[in-house]
Amino acid sequence: MQFAKRLQNVETSAIREIFKLLGTPGIISFAGGFPDAALFDREGLAEAARKAVLEQPAASLQYGPTEGYQPLREQITSRLHEQGAQVAPADVLVTTGSQQALDLLGKTLLSPGDKVLVEGPTFLATIQCFRLYGAEVISVPTDGDGVQVDALERLIAEHRPRLVYLIPTFGNPSGSLLPLARRRRVLELAAQHRVVVVEDNPYGELYFDELPPATLLALSATVPGSRDWLVYCGSFSKILSPGLRLGWMVAPAALLANAVMCKQFSDANSSMLAQVTASEYLQTGRLAATLTNVQQVYAERARLMMERLRAELGEALAFTPPRGGMFIWARLTGAGGRSGDAAAFVRRGIEQGVAVVPGLPFYATEPDPATFRMSYATVPDEKIIEGVQRLARAL
Amino acid sequence: MQFAKRLQNVETSAIREIFKLLGTPGIISFAGGFPDAALFDREGLAEAARKAVLEQPAASLQYGPTEGYQPLREQITSRLHEQGAQVAPADVLVTTGSQQALDLLGKTLLSPGDKVLVEGPTFLATIQCFRLYGAEVISVPTDGDGVQVDALERLIAEHRPRLVYLIPTFGNPSGSLLPLARRRRVLELAAQHRVVVVEDNPYGELYFDELPPATLLALSATVPGSRDWLVYCGSFSKILSPGLRLGWMVAPAALLANAVMCKQFSDANSSMLAQVTASEYLQTGRLAATLTNVQQVYAERARLMMERLRAELGEALAFTPPRGGMFIWARLTGAGGRSGDAAAFVRRGIEQGVAVVPGLPFYATEPDPATFRMSYATVPDEKIIEGVQRLARAL
């Protein structure tokens, strides 16, 4: 059987090999990218699902509008208002997870040979998703404060990309937070170079101590012309539950209309059972308490992991302390004559009974082979302590 | 903003204009393609959803395998066994409605310029879905018994299509049923010409009086080599509820692996809340009774509509009586010197307060402008009677 040419643009993920090993008994995994499902509001969601079916059967048990369940679009709009953004329900498309938002952006915007700029490192499913539409994906250098905006400007001018994809708030895998001044600069570049900028924001509500800077979406009101080039992707997966498989996209009208058209032929509409359940749940007002708990638990786990990493691995490891989100992105410094090869380090970690993810697959171009990603989100305290000890042994 | 070239291959659906008019007060709609949500098992599904969240939270509230929830894959396999097909759970990919199965087939198999053969007429979202992947979609002539297999063979030889897409059982919009001999012939053509054949089967369980012939999937065991070229798409939308947004695809291993890879970057996995709910529901054994009721109600509505059409419109209208499914596909014969222009007839119908769908958009090529589609699935008896009277006035 002969397959489509676009499949030649993607390779099987290097990360798969790691995940195969996670089944090994006794292994402590810092490799996951999942939220901790035990922190979600089981009772609240069970009741919301029951109510969705019994009280809104005409909506929850039927096909729905491709754009999304109208009450949910309104609730998403209200939450974005609370976060300082000016959005109308008609600007919102409900998607089957924010992964589908990326897929629809690829389908709507990218022709083979088009260029896309992403942070180096970035979410690896984004790289593969855009490559499947034939795009050439190029990394923009980052530092502990996210994307370097001078480099971004230079690469926009050099490559004339069709779009720029960023996770400005607690990025995956970087954990980094783009400061306010850089955010403004990104928006100015969007308007000036007339290039689509995608702000992917699944982690923005998972802050530890203080609120992150305003989103690009909120800031766009203060940067003339920028909103016409801005796409915002949000998700319920990290705050309500990934099991619903619901995200959303806010985009300029012409782009949103094309994304709706493409979604019609991709999956027609996202699960109405899930959408009505999410809407019923948001109506109860229970999300705030759940979210506060998630923030506190992740913050404590992050602090413990950082403390143990410093204590056990010391100057052999460099990382920017995350101020939210789910990840610590670290770099082997090579201090004390140790190897800076993260792939070898990851293999030795597996032998010691601890899993982390090597950094290479997170780079579209110009990888840093000394990097790797750890998540603390689902790991209880005693396993964090033991896992870091094993990492120290692997070193 | 500049959009992807692939968007130039699709036009806004002509059907949209009709659907806009359906909001008109008092209109009787035979235009829908939806099942009757009132016939679904509300109590059973509410309890299944509640149980899914409370008793299987680690599955229903978390990300899941791209391939689908394993217990659901097993249940789908069992149901296919009961329908005579030899399938293993590993052959099954759970999709976000069967629309996503079509999208994944496009992504996996179609390069720009590839040709696809479909029934003329066929499901219009299939035509648009494949065109978005750059395919040239070509109609194969049909009659009251579905696709004409001699014409199919000729067009396969002429066009060397990448795939052939068929709805052999109670097709949309045709309502027609492909006889056993033609089914065998289709499978022989697949094996002989080494061409992928897609059997889309969302309506197969909605038979009225007698079981339809075996599916291509079941028959493929008796036609050497055919299974290597056969893809089967199923759906829970017409038998359990479209609100779950769950379908599935059975395909040869290499194709399935590529479809899983593409799904990973399309929506990662289908809603786990929906998948675990469907699984819990199937476990209760309540589906059989619901399905029997749906079959009976649709059968009665179909009989009434056919009887009224014959009585009120007589020889002005030709149609093959459906033996299952949701649709009557009719043709204006032009008898008595009346116009055979279905588009004009549809407009006059709207003026009289009844909506049907003109046939044109269901043809990829060589449309028959005298055709139109009616659905009886959601229409109560008295509205069927009144609606057909209005159609007679429109004539």
pLDDT tens per residue, range B179-192: 999 999 999 999 99
Supply the CATH classification number for the domain B5-41+289-394.
3.90.1150.10
Tell me if chain A has a CB within 8 Å of the CB of B11. no
Share of chain A above pLDDT 70, in %: 97
Strand partners, A138: A117
Asked whether the predicted pLDDT for residue A14 surpasses 60, the reply is: no
Calculate how close chain A gets to B47, using CA atoms only, in Å: 7
Asked whether the predicted pLDDT for residue A231 surpasses 90, the reply is: yes
CB atoms A196 and B1 under 8 Å: yes
CB atoms A53 and B59 under 8 Å: no
> What pLDDT, on a 0 to 100 scale, did the predictor assign at position B221?
97
Q: Which residues of chain B have pLDDT under 50?
A: none
B window 108-147, beta carbon within 8 A of A = 108-111, 114, 125, 128-129, 132-133
> What pLDDT, on a 0 to 100 scale, did the predictor assign at position B24?
74
Tell me if chain B has a CB within 8 Å of the CB of A82. no
Give CA–CA dist B11/B30, Å, rounded.
Answer: 24
Calculate how close chain B gets to A313, using CA atoms only, in Å: 32
CB nearest to A125's CB, from B96, B162, B265: B265
Give CA–CA dist B323/A203, Å, rounded.
Answer: 52
Average pLDDT, chain A: 96
Name the burial class of residue A26, with classes exposed (0-12), middle (13-18) and buried (19+) by CB atoms within 10 angstroms of its CB: exposed
CB-based contacts of B338: which residues, under 8 Å, 6+ apart? B316, B332, B395
Give CA–CA dist B353/B147, Å, rounded.
Answer: 34
Size of interface A-B (CB pairs under 8 A): 238
Tens of pLDDT, residue by residue over A265-316, are 999 999 999 999 999 999 999 999 999 999 999 999 999 999 999 999 999 9
CB atoms A49 and B50 under 8 Å: yes
> What pLDDT, on a 0 to 100 scale, did the predictor assign at position A258?
96
Structure tokens at A29: 């995994």
Res. A198 pLDDT band, cuts 50 70 90: very high
A235-262 core/surface letters (b: 16 or more CB in 10 A; e: else): bbbbbbbbbbbbbbbbbeeebbebbbbb
> What pLDDT, on a 0 to 100 scale, did the predictor assign at position B15?
61
A window 141-160, beta carbon within 8 A of B = none
> What pLDDT, on a 0 to 100 scale, did the predictor assign at position B271?
98
Asked whether the predicted pLDDT for residue A20 surpasses 80, the reply is: no
> What pLDDT, on a 0 to 100 scale, did the predictor assign at position A23?
67
Neighbours of A55 (CB within 10 A): 13
Strand partners, B163: B116, B196
> Counting every residue, how long is chain A?
395
CB nearest to A53's CB, from B45, B267, B272: B45
Q: Would you give the DSSP letter of residue B175?
A: -
Structure tokens at A7: 């499949």
A353 sits in the region (left: phi over 0; alpha: psi -120 to 50; else beta) called left
Res. A371 pLDDT band, cuts 50 70 90: very high
For residue A353, what are the CA distances in angstroms to A28, A151, A181, A392, B15?
A: 6, 39, 42, 11, 59
Q: Which residue on chain A is closest to B125 by alpha carbon?
A: A265
Res. A385 pLDDT band, cuts 50 70 90: very high
Q: Collect all residues of chain B within an 8 Å Cβ-Cβ radius of residue A37.
A: 57-58, 61-62
Q: Collect all residues of chain A within an 8 Å Cβ-Cβ radius of residue B247.
A: none
Give me the sign of the Cα torsion angle B345, B350, B353, B356. Answer: positive
| Mean pLDDT value across residues A55-61 | 97
Label the pairing between strands B92-95 and B247-250.
antiparallel
Q: Which CATH class is domain B47-284?
A: alpha beta
Q: Per-domain residue ranges for chain B?
A: 5-41+289-394, 47-284
Tell me if chain B has a CB within 8 Å of the CB of A344. no
Considering the four listed CATH numbers 3.40.50.2300, 3.40.1280.10, 3.40.640.10, 3.80.10.10, the one that applies to the domain covering A43-284 is 3.40.640.10
Structure tokens at A116: 């896309």
Tell me if chain B has a CB within 8 Å of the CB of A258. yes
> What pLDDT, on a 0 to 100 scale, did the predictor assign at position A15?
62
Tens of pLDDT, residue by residue over A136-169, are 999 999 999 999 999 999 999 999 999 999 999 9
> What pLDDT, on a 0 to 100 scale, did the predictor assign at position B17?
63
A window 18-57, beta carbon within 8 A of B = 34, 37-38, 40, 42-43, 45-47, 49-50, 52-54, 57
Asked whether the predicted pLDDT for residue A12 surpasses 90, the reply is: no
| Mean pLDDT value across residues A61-66 | 96
Place of tokens 């601890």: A354
Name the burial class of residue A329, with classes exposed (0-12), middle (13-18) and buried (19+) by CB atoms within 10 angstroms of its CB: buried
Q: Collect all residues of chain B within an 8 Å Cβ-Cβ radius of residue A261.
A: 7, 10, 12
For every residue of B3-69, DSSP letters joined together read PPGGGGG----THHHHHHHTTSTT-EE-------GGGS-HHHHHHHHHHHHHH-HHHHTS---TT--
First to last CA, chain B: 46
> What pLDDT, on a 0 to 100 scale, did the predictor assign at position B336?
81
